[in-house]
Structure 1
Amino acid sequence: MEISCNHCYTKLNIPDEKIPKGRKASLLCPKCKQRIHIMPDESNTQTLDSSEIPVQSKAPQVPVPRRVYPETSEYNASDKPFDLLDENAKTALLCISHPHALEISVKIMNSMQYQIETVDNVQTALNRMKYHLFNIIIVDEDFDVNRRGFAYLMEYINDLDMMLRRRTVVFFLSKNHRTMDNMASFHLSVNQIINISKITGMEGLVRRTVKEHEQFYAIYNESLRKMGKIT
Protein backbone atom coordinates (compact mmCIF):
# COMPACT_ATOMS: atom_id res chain seq x y z
CA MET A 1 0.00 0.00 0.00
CA GLU A 2 1.24 3.49 -0.84
CA ILE A 3 0.70 6.36 1.57
CA SER A 4 2.02 9.93 1.53
CA CYS A 5 3.00 12.47 4.18
CA ASN A 6 0.77 15.53 4.06
CA HIS A 7 3.61 17.77 5.26
CA CYS A 8 6.55 16.98 2.96
CA TYR A 9 4.73 14.72 0.44
CA THR A 10 7.20 11.86 0.80
CA LYS A 11 5.62 8.65 -0.46
CA LEU A 12 6.02 5.36 1.41
CA ASN A 13 5.29 1.82 0.28
CA ILE A 14 4.05 -0.21 3.27
CA PRO A 15 3.23 -3.92 3.02
CA ASP A 16 -0.51 -4.46 3.48
CA GLU A 17 0.09 -7.04 6.20
CA LYS A 18 1.81 -4.38 8.35
CA ILE A 19 -1.34 -2.23 8.48
CA PRO A 20 -3.82 -3.24 11.22
CA LYS A 21 -7.28 -3.97 9.82
CA GLY A 22 -10.06 -1.72 11.06
CA ARG A 23 -7.83 0.10 13.54
CA LYS A 24 -6.14 3.48 13.61
CA ALA A 25 -2.34 3.35 13.29
CA SER A 26 0.40 5.93 12.94
CA LEU A 27 4.09 6.31 12.17
CA LEU A 28 6.61 9.13 11.90
CA CYS A 29 7.54 10.30 8.44
CA PRO A 30 11.21 9.29 8.00
CA LYS A 31 11.92 12.58 6.19
CA CYS A 32 10.17 15.43 8.07
CA LYS A 33 9.36 13.57 11.35
CA GLN A 34 5.70 14.61 11.32
CA ARG A 35 3.21 11.93 12.35
CA ILE A 36 1.25 10.18 9.61
CA HIS A 37 -2.10 8.76 10.76
CA ILE A 38 -3.57 5.80 8.88
CA MET A 39 -7.32 5.73 9.34
CA PRO A 40 -9.47 2.59 8.94
CA ASP A 41 -11.90 2.70 6.05
CA GLU A 42 -14.23 0.04 4.73
CA SER A 43 -13.41 0.74 1.12
CA ASN A 44 -9.77 1.73 1.35
CA THR A 45 -7.17 2.99 3.81
CA GLN A 46 -6.17 6.63 3.65
CA THR A 47 -3.73 8.93 5.43
CA LEU A 48 -4.86 11.79 7.60
CA ASP A 49 -3.14 14.22 9.87
CA SER A 50 -4.14 17.28 11.87
CA SER A 51 -3.81 19.68 8.95
CA GLU A 52 -6.41 17.73 6.97
CA ILE A 53 -9.19 17.94 9.58
CA PRO A 54 -11.95 20.16 8.16
CA VAL A 55 -12.24 23.57 9.81
CA GLN A 56 -15.43 25.59 9.51
CA SER A 57 -14.72 29.03 8.13
CA LYS A 58 -16.78 31.71 6.43
CA ALA A 59 -13.87 32.87 4.33
CA PRO A 60 -13.23 30.98 1.09
CA GLN A 61 -10.18 28.80 1.21
CA VAL A 62 -7.56 29.33 -1.47
CA PRO A 63 -6.11 26.03 -2.69
CA VAL A 64 -2.42 25.60 -1.97
CA PRO A 65 -0.29 24.34 -4.90
CA ARG A 66 0.90 20.80 -4.29
CA ARG A 67 4.60 20.09 -4.50
CA VAL A 68 5.93 17.37 -6.76
CA TYR A 69 6.27 14.07 -4.93
CA PRO A 70 9.88 13.09 -4.27
CA GLU A 71 11.08 9.67 -5.27
CA THR A 72 9.24 6.93 -3.40
CA SER A 73 11.20 5.46 -0.49
CA GLU A 74 10.60 1.90 0.65
CA TYR A 75 9.29 1.26 4.14
CA ASN A 76 11.61 -1.10 6.00
CA ALA A 77 9.61 -2.89 8.69
CA SER A 78 12.78 -4.09 10.44
CA ASP A 79 13.69 -0.47 11.22
CA LYS A 80 10.43 0.18 13.07
CA PRO A 81 11.10 -0.40 16.79
CA PHE A 82 7.55 -1.34 17.83
CA ASP A 83 4.99 -3.11 15.63
CA LEU A 84 1.93 -1.60 17.27
CA LEU A 85 1.70 0.62 20.34
CA ASP A 86 -1.02 2.52 22.11
CA GLU A 87 -0.50 6.17 21.16
CA ASN A 88 -0.11 7.04 24.86
CA ALA A 89 2.57 4.39 25.49
CA LYS A 90 5.89 5.64 26.91
CA THR A 91 9.02 4.50 25.11
CA ALA A 92 12.76 4.53 25.77
CA LEU A 93 15.78 4.05 23.49
CA LEU A 94 18.88 2.71 25.27
CA CYS A 95 22.21 3.35 23.55
CA ILE A 96 24.51 1.97 26.23
CA SER A 97 27.79 0.11 25.75
CA HIS A 98 28.50 -0.82 29.39
CA PRO A 99 26.67 -4.06 30.35
CA HIS A 100 26.19 -3.07 34.01
CA ALA A 101 24.81 0.35 33.09
CA LEU A 102 22.53 -1.24 30.49
CA GLU A 103 21.20 -3.79 33.00
CA ILE A 104 20.35 -1.08 35.53
CA SER A 105 18.81 1.20 32.89
CA VAL A 106 16.56 -1.62 31.67
CA LYS A 107 15.38 -2.28 35.24
CA ILE A 108 14.60 1.40 35.77
CA MET A 109 12.68 1.74 32.50
CA ASN A 110 10.70 -1.41 33.27
CA SER A 111 9.92 -0.06 36.73
CA MET A 112 8.66 3.17 35.15
CA GLN A 113 6.58 1.11 32.65
CA TYR A 114 8.40 2.23 29.51
CA GLN A 115 8.53 0.12 26.36
CA ILE A 116 12.24 -0.41 25.67
CA GLU A 117 14.36 -0.61 22.54
CA THR A 118 18.09 -1.37 23.00
CA VAL A 119 20.65 -0.81 20.23
CA ASP A 120 24.40 -1.38 19.99
CA ASN A 121 25.37 1.00 17.19
CA VAL A 122 24.48 4.48 16.03
CA GLN A 123 23.13 3.46 12.61
CA THR A 124 20.57 1.14 14.19
CA ALA A 125 19.62 3.91 16.62
CA LEU A 126 19.01 6.34 13.75
CA ASN A 127 17.00 3.73 11.85
CA ARG A 128 14.74 3.22 14.87
CA MET A 129 14.31 6.98 15.31
CA LYS A 130 13.12 7.36 11.72
CA TYR A 131 9.78 5.78 12.62
CA HIS A 132 9.36 6.58 16.30
CA LEU A 133 9.79 9.55 18.63
CA PHE A 134 11.15 8.18 21.92
CA ASN A 135 10.15 9.77 25.23
CA ILE A 136 13.50 8.92 26.84
CA ILE A 137 16.92 8.32 25.30
CA ILE A 138 19.79 7.11 27.50
CA VAL A 139 23.23 7.14 25.87
CA ASP A 140 26.73 6.70 27.29
CA GLU A 141 29.91 8.37 26.06
CA ASP A 142 31.42 5.07 24.85
CA PHE A 143 28.41 4.17 22.70
CA ASP A 144 29.71 3.12 19.24
CA VAL A 145 32.74 5.30 19.94
CA ASN A 146 34.54 4.29 16.73
CA ARG A 147 31.77 5.98 14.73
CA ARG A 148 31.31 8.98 17.03
CA GLY A 149 28.15 7.38 18.38
CA PHE A 150 27.14 9.99 20.98
CA ALA A 151 28.09 12.98 18.82
CA TYR A 152 26.40 11.56 15.73
CA LEU A 153 23.23 10.75 17.70
CA MET A 154 23.07 14.25 19.21
CA GLU A 155 23.56 15.87 15.81
CA TYR A 156 20.46 14.03 14.63
CA ILE A 157 18.45 14.91 17.76
CA ASN A 158 19.42 18.59 17.61
CA ASP A 159 18.35 18.79 13.96
CA LEU A 160 14.80 17.76 14.90
CA ASP A 161 12.05 20.33 14.83
CA MET A 162 11.99 21.96 18.27
CA MET A 163 8.41 20.80 18.83
CA LEU A 164 9.66 17.22 18.54
CA ARG A 165 12.91 17.72 20.44
CA ARG A 166 11.01 19.02 23.47
CA ARG A 167 9.13 15.74 23.74
CA THR A 168 12.30 13.71 24.36
CA VAL A 169 14.36 13.61 27.57
CA VAL A 170 18.01 12.72 26.90
CA PHE A 171 20.22 11.28 29.66
CA PHE A 172 24.00 11.16 29.16
CA LEU A 173 26.02 8.60 31.13
CA SER A 174 29.55 9.94 31.55
CA LYS A 175 32.82 8.91 33.16
CA ASN A 176 34.23 12.45 32.99
CA HIS A 177 31.35 14.73 34.00
CA ARG A 178 29.77 14.91 37.41
CA THR A 179 26.12 14.05 37.97
CA MET A 180 23.74 17.00 37.47
CA ASP A 181 26.42 19.20 35.88
CA ASN A 182 23.99 21.76 34.45
CA MET A 183 26.58 23.72 32.48
CA ALA A 184 27.92 20.58 30.81
CA SER A 185 24.35 19.44 30.10
CA PHE A 186 23.68 22.75 28.35
CA HIS A 187 26.82 22.52 26.21
CA LEU A 188 26.11 18.88 25.29
CA SER A 189 22.40 19.61 24.58
CA VAL A 190 21.22 16.86 26.93
CA ASN A 191 18.61 17.09 29.69
CA GLN A 192 20.64 15.42 32.41
CA ILE A 193 24.13 14.04 33.03
CA ILE A 194 24.69 11.05 35.30
CA ASN A 195 28.21 10.00 36.24
CA ILE A 196 28.48 6.31 35.50
CA SER A 197 29.94 5.67 38.97
CA LYS A 198 26.54 6.76 40.36
CA ILE A 199 24.54 4.53 38.02
CA THR A 200 23.25 2.25 40.80
CA GLY A 201 21.26 5.01 42.47
CA MET A 202 20.10 6.91 39.41
CA GLU A 203 16.40 5.90 39.39
CA GLY A 204 15.32 8.75 41.65
CA LEU A 205 17.14 11.30 39.48
CA VAL A 206 15.64 9.85 36.29
CA ARG A 207 12.13 10.05 37.71
CA ARG A 208 12.66 13.60 39.00
CA THR A 209 14.15 14.83 35.71
CA VAL A 210 11.25 13.37 33.69
CA LYS A 211 8.67 14.85 36.08
CA GLU A 212 10.29 18.31 35.97
CA HIS A 213 10.46 18.16 32.18
CA GLU A 214 6.75 17.25 31.95
CA GLN A 215 5.79 20.03 34.36
CA PHE A 216 7.90 22.61 32.53
CA TYR A 217 6.26 21.87 29.18
CA ALA A 218 2.77 21.05 30.50
CA ILE A 219 1.09 24.24 29.23
CA TYR A 220 3.01 24.13 25.96
CA ASN A 221 2.00 20.50 25.31
CA GLU A 222 -1.63 21.16 26.25
CA SER A 223 -1.70 23.97 23.66
CA LEU A 224 -0.34 21.57 21.03
CA ARG A 225 -3.00 18.99 21.91
CA LYS A 226 -5.78 21.57 21.52
CA MET A 227 -4.37 22.42 18.08
CA GLY A 228 -4.23 18.72 17.18
CA LYS A 229 -0.45 18.78 16.79
CA ILE A 230 0.12 15.97 19.30
CA THR A 231 -2.08 13.30 20.89
Structure 2
Amino acid sequence: MQVTCSQCSKAINIPDEKVPKDQAFNLTCPSCKTKNRVDQHLRQEEEEEDEGLEAMMMVTDEAFEEDEAPPIYEEGDKIALIMDPKNYDAIAQVLTDFGYKLETAKSPEHGAHKLKFFHYHVVMFHERFGGEELEDSALYKYVLNMPMSLRRKTFIALIGKEFKSTDNMEAFAYSVNQVINEKDFDKLDVILKKGISDNEIFYRIYRETMDVLGKV
Protein backbone atom coordinates (compact mmCIF):
# COMPACT_ATOMS: atom_id res chain seq x y z
CA MET A 1 0.00 0.00 0.00
CA GLN A 2 1.22 3.52 -0.79
CA VAL A 3 0.60 6.48 1.53
CA THR A 4 1.22 10.12 0.60
CA CYS A 5 2.38 12.41 3.40
CA SER A 6 -0.18 15.15 4.02
CA GLN A 7 2.58 17.68 4.74
CA CYS A 8 5.40 17.14 2.22
CA SER A 9 3.61 14.82 -0.27
CA LYS A 10 6.31 12.18 0.00
CA ALA A 11 5.17 8.75 -1.22
CA ILE A 12 5.65 6.08 1.46
CA ASN A 13 5.37 2.44 0.51
CA ILE A 14 4.15 -0.01 3.16
CA PRO A 15 4.32 -3.80 2.54
CA ASP A 16 0.79 -5.22 2.56
CA GLU A 17 1.69 -7.71 5.29
CA LYS A 18 2.65 -4.80 7.56
CA VAL A 19 -0.72 -3.04 7.23
CA PRO A 20 -2.86 -3.63 10.38
CA LYS A 21 -6.05 -5.36 9.31
CA ASP A 22 -9.40 -3.74 10.14
CA GLN A 23 -7.93 -0.75 11.95
CA ALA A 24 -6.52 2.69 11.21
CA PHE A 25 -2.99 3.59 12.31
CA ASN A 26 -0.52 6.49 12.49
CA LEU A 27 2.51 6.65 10.19
CA THR A 28 5.40 9.06 10.75
CA CYS A 29 6.82 10.47 7.53
CA PRO A 30 10.55 9.63 7.32
CA SER A 31 11.16 12.92 5.51
CA CYS A 32 9.35 15.64 7.47
CA LYS A 33 8.35 13.64 10.59
CA THR A 34 4.68 14.52 10.20
CA LYS A 35 2.29 11.97 11.71
CA ASN A 36 -0.25 10.82 9.13
CA ARG A 37 -3.49 9.04 9.98
CA VAL A 38 -3.87 6.06 7.62
CA ASP A 39 -7.35 4.61 7.03
CA GLN A 40 -7.57 4.31 3.25
CA HIS A 41 -7.47 0.51 3.46
CA LEU A 42 -10.62 0.61 5.60
CA ARG A 43 -12.40 2.87 3.13
CA GLN A 44 -11.45 0.51 0.31
CA GLU A 45 -13.03 -2.44 2.15
CA GLU A 46 -16.20 -0.41 2.74
CA GLU A 47 -16.34 0.46 -0.96
CA GLU A 48 -15.97 -3.22 -1.87
CA GLU A 49 -18.85 -4.10 0.46
CA ASP A 50 -20.96 -1.36 -1.12
CA GLU A 51 -20.22 -2.85 -4.55
CA GLY A 52 -21.29 -6.23 -3.23
CA LEU A 53 -24.55 -4.75 -1.98
CA GLU A 54 -25.17 -3.20 -5.39
CA ALA A 55 -24.65 -6.62 -6.99
CA MET A 56 -27.11 -8.10 -4.49
CA MET A 57 -29.76 -5.58 -5.44
CA MET A 58 -29.46 -6.67 -9.07
CA VAL A 59 -30.86 -10.09 -8.14
CA THR A 60 -34.58 -9.29 -7.96
CA ASP A 61 -37.00 -11.85 -9.34
CA GLU A 62 -40.47 -11.33 -7.89
CA ALA A 63 -41.51 -14.81 -9.07
CA PHE A 64 -39.25 -16.35 -6.43
CA GLU A 65 -40.82 -14.23 -3.72
CA GLU A 66 -44.33 -15.22 -4.74
CA ASP A 67 -43.98 -18.99 -4.94
CA GLU A 68 -42.23 -19.82 -1.69
CA ALA A 69 -42.99 -19.24 1.97
CA PRO A 70 -39.99 -18.28 4.11
CA PRO A 71 -38.71 -21.28 6.10
CA ILE A 72 -38.92 -21.19 9.88
CA TYR A 73 -35.85 -22.22 11.85
CA GLU A 74 -34.99 -22.29 15.52
CA GLU A 75 -32.14 -20.35 17.04
CA GLY A 76 -28.93 -22.33 16.70
CA ASP A 77 -30.01 -24.27 13.61
CA LYS A 78 -27.31 -24.83 11.00
CA ILE A 79 -28.60 -24.30 7.46
CA ALA A 80 -27.05 -25.51 4.21
CA LEU A 81 -27.96 -24.62 0.63
CA ILE A 82 -27.24 -27.38 -1.93
CA MET A 83 -27.27 -26.61 -5.66
CA ASP A 84 -26.15 -29.76 -7.42
CA PRO A 85 -29.09 -31.96 -8.55
CA LYS A 86 -26.90 -34.81 -9.78
CA ASN A 87 -25.04 -35.21 -6.48
CA TYR A 88 -27.75 -33.92 -4.16
CA ASP A 89 -28.41 -37.19 -2.35
CA ALA A 90 -24.75 -37.77 -1.49
CA ILE A 91 -24.26 -34.20 -0.30
CA ALA A 92 -27.55 -34.19 1.62
CA GLN A 93 -26.64 -37.39 3.47
CA VAL A 94 -23.32 -35.98 4.68
CA LEU A 95 -24.69 -32.59 5.70
CA THR A 96 -27.68 -34.16 7.45
CA ASP A 97 -25.28 -36.36 9.41
CA PHE A 98 -23.40 -33.19 10.36
CA GLY A 99 -26.62 -31.71 11.75
CA TYR A 100 -27.55 -29.28 8.97
CA LYS A 101 -31.05 -28.50 7.76
CA LEU A 102 -31.18 -28.39 3.99
CA GLU A 103 -32.50 -26.17 1.23
CA THR A 104 -32.01 -26.16 -2.52
CA ALA A 105 -32.64 -23.81 -5.45
CA LYS A 106 -34.25 -24.16 -8.87
CA SER A 107 -31.67 -22.19 -10.84
CA PRO A 108 -28.54 -20.02 -10.43
CA GLU A 109 -30.79 -16.95 -10.25
CA HIS A 110 -32.92 -18.58 -7.59
CA GLY A 111 -29.80 -19.50 -5.63
CA ALA A 112 -28.56 -15.91 -5.77
CA HIS A 113 -32.01 -14.74 -4.68
CA LYS A 114 -31.90 -17.05 -1.64
CA LEU A 115 -28.41 -15.90 -0.67
CA LYS A 116 -29.55 -12.32 -0.91
CA PHE A 117 -32.30 -12.73 1.68
CA PHE A 118 -31.04 -15.45 4.01
CA HIS A 119 -27.77 -16.41 5.68
CA TYR A 120 -26.64 -19.99 5.05
CA HIS A 121 -23.83 -21.51 7.07
CA VAL A 122 -22.81 -23.83 4.22
CA VAL A 123 -23.36 -23.32 0.48
CA MET A 124 -22.45 -26.03 -2.03
CA PHE A 125 -22.95 -25.72 -5.77
CA HIS A 126 -21.76 -27.39 -8.95
CA GLU A 127 -19.78 -25.35 -11.46
CA ARG A 128 -22.34 -26.32 -14.12
CA PHE A 129 -25.44 -25.76 -11.99
CA GLY A 130 -28.21 -24.61 -14.29
CA GLY A 131 -26.28 -25.73 -17.39
CA GLU A 132 -24.28 -22.49 -17.55
CA GLU A 133 -20.55 -21.89 -17.68
CA LEU A 134 -19.29 -20.81 -14.28
CA GLU A 135 -18.26 -17.33 -15.41
CA ASP A 136 -21.78 -16.75 -16.79
CA SER A 137 -23.60 -17.96 -13.68
CA ALA A 138 -25.67 -15.37 -11.80
CA LEU A 139 -25.05 -17.44 -8.67
CA TYR A 140 -21.27 -17.36 -9.02
CA LYS A 141 -21.29 -13.64 -9.85
CA TYR A 142 -23.28 -13.07 -6.68
CA VAL A 143 -20.82 -15.14 -4.62
CA LEU A 144 -17.92 -13.09 -5.99
CA ASN A 145 -19.65 -9.87 -4.91
CA MET A 146 -20.94 -10.91 -1.49
CA PRO A 147 -20.11 -8.30 1.17
CA MET A 148 -17.24 -9.52 3.34
CA SER A 149 -19.36 -9.07 6.46
CA LEU A 150 -21.57 -11.90 5.12
CA ARG A 151 -18.92 -13.84 3.27
CA ARG A 152 -16.87 -14.46 6.41
CA LYS A 153 -19.82 -16.26 7.97
CA THR A 154 -20.48 -18.58 5.02
CA PHE A 155 -18.55 -21.69 4.02
CA ILE A 156 -18.79 -22.10 0.24
CA ALA A 157 -17.75 -25.25 -1.64
CA LEU A 158 -17.51 -25.45 -5.43
CA ILE A 159 -17.96 -28.87 -7.07
CA GLY A 160 -16.67 -29.93 -10.48
CA LYS A 161 -15.02 -32.60 -12.60
CA GLU A 162 -11.53 -31.12 -12.86
CA PHE A 163 -10.88 -29.65 -9.41
CA LYS A 164 -8.25 -31.04 -7.08
CA SER A 165 -10.17 -31.63 -3.87
CA THR A 166 -9.03 -29.59 -0.86
CA ASP A 167 -6.51 -27.62 -2.96
CA ASN A 168 -6.47 -24.36 -1.02
CA MET A 169 -4.78 -22.35 -3.76
CA GLU A 170 -7.35 -23.47 -6.32
CA ALA A 171 -10.15 -22.61 -3.91
CA PHE A 172 -8.60 -19.19 -3.38
CA ALA A 173 -8.38 -18.64 -7.14
CA TYR A 174 -12.14 -19.28 -7.42
CA SER A 175 -12.94 -17.18 -4.32
CA VAL A 176 -14.49 -20.11 -2.45
CA ASN A 177 -13.52 -21.96 0.72
CA GLN A 178 -13.15 -25.39 -0.83
CA VAL A 179 -13.14 -27.10 -4.21
CA ILE A 180 -14.30 -30.71 -4.51
CA ASN A 181 -13.85 -33.15 -7.38
CA GLU A 182 -16.87 -35.33 -8.13
CA LYS A 183 -14.64 -38.39 -8.19
CA ASP A 184 -13.92 -37.91 -4.48
CA PHE A 185 -17.52 -38.15 -3.28
CA ASP A 186 -16.77 -41.50 -1.63
CA LYS A 187 -14.87 -39.51 1.02
CA LEU A 188 -17.04 -36.40 0.96
CA ASP A 189 -17.68 -36.61 4.70
CA VAL A 190 -13.96 -36.39 5.47
CA ILE A 191 -13.36 -33.63 2.93
CA LEU A 192 -16.24 -31.45 4.13
CA LYS A 193 -15.58 -32.04 7.82
CA LYS A 194 -11.99 -30.87 7.43
CA GLY A 195 -12.93 -27.90 5.23
CA ILE A 196 -15.68 -26.62 7.52
CA SER A 197 -13.53 -27.17 10.62
CA ASP A 198 -10.50 -25.37 9.14
CA ASN A 199 -12.67 -22.45 8.08
CA GLU A 200 -14.24 -22.19 11.53
CA ILE A 201 -10.85 -22.17 13.23
CA PHE A 202 -9.52 -19.59 10.75
CA TYR A 203 -12.29 -17.09 11.51
CA ARG A 204 -12.98 -17.90 15.17
CA ILE A 205 -10.51 -15.43 16.64
CA TYR A 206 -11.63 -12.72 14.23
CA ARG A 207 -15.31 -13.21 15.06
CA GLU A 208 -14.68 -13.35 18.82
CA THR A 209 -12.72 -10.09 18.64
CA MET A 210 -15.44 -8.38 16.59
CA ASP A 211 -18.07 -9.66 19.01
CA VAL A 212 -16.22 -8.12 21.97
CA LEU A 213 -16.06 -4.83 20.04
CA GLY A 214 -19.78 -5.05 19.36
CA LYS A 215 -19.32 -5.19 15.58
CA VAL A 216 -20.84 -8.60 14.84
TM-score in same-fold range (> 0.5): yes
| Partner secondary structure for residue 115 of structure 1 | strand
Given the superposition, is the C-alpha separation of residues 81 and 128 from structure 1 closer, same or farther in structure 2, using an over 3 Å criterion?
farther
- Of residues 135-144 and 148-157 in structure 1, the stretch that sits farther from structure 2 once superposed is 148-157
1:89 to 77, 84, 91: 77
| Partner secondary structure for residue 157 of structure 2 | strand
Distance in structure 1 (CA, Å) of the matches to 2:102 and 2:194: 19
Given the superposition, is the C-alpha separation of residues 200 and 81 from structure 1 closer, same or farther in structure 2, using an over 3 Å criterion?
farther
Matched with 1:158 is 144
Q: Does 1:179 align with 2:179?
A: no
Give the structure with higher Rg (CA): 2
Matched with 2:95 is 109
Given the superposition, is the C-alpha separation of residues 150 and 185 from structure 1 closer, same or farther in structure 2, using an over 3 Å criterion?
farther
| Partner secondary structure for residue 217 of structure 1 | helix
Say if 1:143 and 1:150, in contact at 8 Å, map to a contact too: no
Distance in structure 1 (CA, Å) of the matches to 2:180 and 2:136: 15
Given the superposition, is the C-alpha separation of residues 147 and 174 from structure 1 closer, same or farther in structure 2, using an over 3 Å criterion?
closer
Distance in structure 1 (CA, Å) of the matches to 2:182 and 2:136: 15
RMSD (CA atoms): 2.6
Identity over aligned pairs, percent? 24
| Partner secondary structure for residue 195 of structure 2 | helix
2:114 to 111, 119, 128: 128
| Partner secondary structure for residue 116 of structure 2 | helix
Q: Does 1:76 align with 2:65?
A: yes
Matched with 2:190 is 204
| Partner secondary structure for residue 167 of structure 1 | coil
Q: How far 1:159 sits from its partner (Å)?
A: 1.3
Given the superposition, is the C-alpha separation of residues 85 and 142 from structure 1 closer, same or farther in structure 2, using an over 3 Å criterion?
same
Say if 1:81 and 1:132, in contact at 8 Å, map to a contact too: no
- How high is the TM-score relative to the length of structure 2? 0.64
Q: How far 1:153 sits from its partner (Å)?
A: 1.6
Query: What are the ranges of 5 or more consecutive residues in structure 1 without an aligned counterpart?
Result: 1-30, 34-73
Distance in structure 2 (CA, Å) of the matches to 1:182 and 1:227: 30
The code of the aligned residue for 2:80 comes to A
Q: How far 1:80 sits from its partner (Å)?
A: 6.0
Runs of 4+ with >6 A deviation: none
Query: What are the ranges of 5 or more consecutive residues in structure 2 without an aligned counterpart?
Result: 1-51, 55-61
Matched with 1:141 is 127
Say if 1:139 and 1:173, in contact at 8 Å, map to a contact too: yes
Q: How far 1:134 sits from its partner (Å)?
A: 0.8
The code of the aligned residue for 1:199 comes to F
Say if 2:108 and 2:130, in contact at 8 Å, map to a contact too: yes
Say if 1:137 and 1:170, in contact at 8 Å, map to a contact too: yes
The code of the aligned residue for 1:182 comes to N
Say if 1:92 and 1:114, in contact at 8 Å, map to a contact too: yes
CA deviation digits over 1:117-166, x for unaligned, max 9?
A: 01231121122112211111111122012375874322212212212101
Give the count of matched residue pairs: 157
Distance in structure 2 (CA, Å) of the matches to 1:114 and 1:149: 29
Say if 1:91 and 1:116, in contact at 8 Å, map to a contact too: yes
